[in-house]
């Protein structure tokens, strides 16, 4: 038996034979053309672009019909790439100036642009290289008039194993005897992963070289819960996973039954459960979760895959539609947390490349440097709040000092005055909050609290900065540890500071969606947990099985310990 660890992209367990997708080893040779053929090559390429756009239109309609309009926007990103002059002009220039075939020019241009994507440090933007590759593959097939059918050989329910699957491949998996899929590359935020989630198909990505270790017909266990694949498992392990499959199915039914029950511990201690909401991944099942509100609307997606910042009207429509979805419940809109490597296409002028953008001009730092971005987003939020019943809250990302909070507060005050003069008045007071994810903000909390209405603890970055661990760096990724005493003590410090000033505090990030960490957070006195949709009912079930007094004792005991191992042992031994 061989076990390979990857990234859990879509939950669930699949068991079945492997269907190995052979990699495309097509070699595009450099082919020079005579000057008289340049016009012909350009026409061939233009026709391929037109045919590819027609294919994308058809794919978009297919995705919309199968998964809904939100997922159809994933294909819209490919259409945007196909219209991108960076790609199209580059290919045409190479044909004209280097006198090479359209196929070779396309190959060279795609490699150059991919290298630019790979130099970015943000995972979301790095993964756009796969979208570029999908578009380039489509163009190449239309140039050569040779289309591949990777899945024609599937004769029985199987698990797809591939080096990579493009979104165009993933769309074609539905209804083709596919139990799940695993790929060597990719991440949680790739379009392929999002489509797998929409199809409720177990998937594991980022497996490195798993496709080279697996043969057609090998028995595979694909664990989309933990990101593992097991190759030719022993009978005992196979039996355990089949039992786990049954448990998961039963648990899903059980979780749905607790949906209408209150969000509280077994002894009646209330903890509000908010949902992290992404309009691009909207589905009707979220309505059944009965969340207490929207804990985090990440607005960065509005700025992605484009060359100019989104307009005020475009943002206003998104915020209004989102807030309507939550009726009178709180809706927390985070100002766009754009990193230093995410803004090269936003028309902000030439900027020097940052060697460490996660500690550079990102979050509120960027918005204060380019105030037009800040004012545009604030105006859009205020306009939306004037037309909805929801209680709108604005959250400031990457706060490191009280001065930043005061600048945003002054900007909001100015926007509110301007909109009021125009007859636009929010139906409810807009609350302003700070996201505490930088240690300096945690230690400056006494100055920040008087300026805000609420606090949100962003655990992903807070842990990263506290322990000085880049989670994307495989050399040190294992050091990223939510059980670290410094992490729990800092969270306790923030919560106690909020308690003294009577300000509500929420926790978001992976820690809030980890069932093992919930007893600590509840025991420390957090008011709100902001959860991923996938984990919402699981965390609710965990919460309802806890005793608050026992959690409080556990949390206080953890404050006295000095190592992660001691805290983990305490958690395992404690009766809750």
Cβ neighbours for 264, distance < 8 A, ≥ 6 positions apart: 270, 271, 543, 544
Q: Which of 163, 484, 498, 508 is catalytic?
A: 508
- Other C-beta atoms lying within 10 Å of the C-beta of residue 383: 21
Query: Is position 324 annotated as part of the catalytic site?
Result: no
The DSSP 8-state label assigned to residue 301 in this structure reads G
Query: Is position 191 annotated as part of the catalytic site?
Result: yes
Furthest-apart CA pair in the chain: how many Å?
A: 83
Q: Which of 191, 361, 484, 551 is catalytic?
A: 191
User: Radius of gyration over alpha carbons of the chain, in Å?
Assistant: 25
Whether 434 contacts 441, CB under 8 Å? yes
C-alpha separations of 89 from 35, 45, 446 in Å: 18, 11, 54
C-alpha separations of 442 from 296, 477, 556 in Å: 20, 23, 20
Measured distance CA(186)–CA(203) in Å, rounded: 11
Bridging pattern class, strands 272-277 and 505-508: unpaired
Cβ neighbours for 266, distance < 8 A, ≥ 6 positions apart: 544, 545, 546, 547
Question: CA dihedral in degrees (132, 136, 138, 141; nearest 10)?
Answer: -160
CB-based burial, 200-235: b 16+ in 10 Å, e otherwise: ebbbbbbbeebbeebeeebebbbbbeebbbbbbbee
Measured distance CA(293)–CA(276) in Å, rounded: 9
Measured distance CA(332)–CA(277) in Å, rounded: 10
Residues taking part in catalysis: 191, 508
């Amino acid at each position: 038996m061989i076990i390979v660890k990857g990234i859990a992209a879509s939950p669930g367990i699949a068991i079945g034979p492997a269907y190995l997708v052979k990699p495309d080893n097509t070699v595009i040779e450099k082919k020079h053309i005579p000057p008289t053929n340049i016009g012909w090559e350009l026409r061939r390429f233009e026709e391929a672009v037109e045919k590819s756009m027609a294919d994308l239109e058809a794919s978009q309609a297919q995705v919309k019909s199968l998964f809904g309009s939100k997922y159809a926007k994933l294909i819209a990103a490919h259409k945007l790439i196909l219209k991108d002059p960076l790609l199209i002009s580059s290919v045409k220039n190479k044909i004209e100036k280097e006198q090479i075939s359209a196929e070779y020019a396309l190959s060279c241009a795609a490699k150059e642009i991919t290298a630019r994507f790979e130099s970015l440090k943000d995972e979301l933007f790095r993964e756009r290289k796969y979208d570029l590759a999908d578009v380039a593959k489509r163009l190449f097939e239309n140039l050569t008039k040779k289309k591949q059918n990777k899945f024609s050989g599937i004769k029985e329910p199987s698990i797809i194993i591939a080096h990579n699957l493009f979104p165009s491949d993933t769309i074609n998996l539905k209804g083709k005897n596919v139990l799940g899929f695993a790929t060597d590359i990719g991440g949680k935020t790739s379009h392929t992963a999002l489509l797998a989630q929409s199809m409720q198909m177990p998937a594991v990505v980022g497996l490195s070289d798993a496709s080279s270790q697996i043969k057609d017909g090998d028995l595979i266990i694909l664990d989309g819960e933990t990101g593992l694949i097991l190759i030719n498992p022993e009978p005992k392990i196979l039996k355990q996973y089949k039992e786990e499959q049954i448990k998961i199915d039963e648990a899903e039914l059980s979780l749905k039954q607790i949906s209408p029950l209150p969000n509280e511990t077994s002894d009646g201690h209330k903890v509000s459960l908010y949902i992290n909401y992404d309009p691009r991944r909207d589905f009707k099942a979220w309505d059944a979760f009965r969340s207490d509100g929207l804990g985090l609307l990440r607005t960065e997606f509005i700025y992605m895959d484009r060359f100019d910042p989104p307009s005020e009207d475009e943002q206003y429509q998104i915020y209004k539609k989102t807030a309507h979805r939550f009726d009178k419940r709180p809706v927390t809109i985070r100002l766009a947390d754009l990193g230093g490597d995410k803004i090269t296409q936003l028309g902000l002028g030439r900027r020097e490349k940052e060697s460490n953008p996660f500690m550079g001009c990102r979050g509120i730092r960027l918005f204060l440097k380019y105030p037009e971005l800040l004012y545009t987003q604030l105006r859009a939020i205020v306009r939306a709040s004037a037309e909805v019943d929801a209680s709108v809250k604005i959250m400031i990302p990457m706060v490191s000092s009280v001065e930043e909070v005061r600048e945003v507060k002054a900007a909001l005050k100015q926007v509110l005055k301007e909109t009021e003069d125009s007859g636009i008045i929010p139906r409810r007071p807009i609350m302003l909050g700070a996201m505490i994810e930088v240690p300096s903000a945690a230690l400056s909390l006494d100055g920040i609290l008087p300026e805000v209405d609420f606090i949100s603890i962003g655990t992903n970055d807070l842990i990263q900065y506290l322990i000085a661990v880049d989670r994307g760096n495989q050399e040190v990724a294992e050091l990223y540890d939510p059980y670290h005493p410094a992490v729990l003590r800092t969270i306790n410090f923030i919560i106690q500071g909020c308690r003294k000033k009577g300000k509500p505090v929420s926790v978001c990030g992976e820690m809030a969606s980890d069932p093992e960490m919930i007893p600590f957070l509840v025991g420390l006195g957090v008011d709100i947990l902001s959860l991923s949709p996938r984990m919402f009912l699981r965390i609710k079930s965990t919460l309802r099985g806890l005793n608050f007094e026992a959690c409080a004792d556990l949390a206080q005991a953890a404050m006295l310990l000095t190592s992660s191992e001691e805290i983990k042992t305490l958690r395992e031994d404690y009766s809750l």
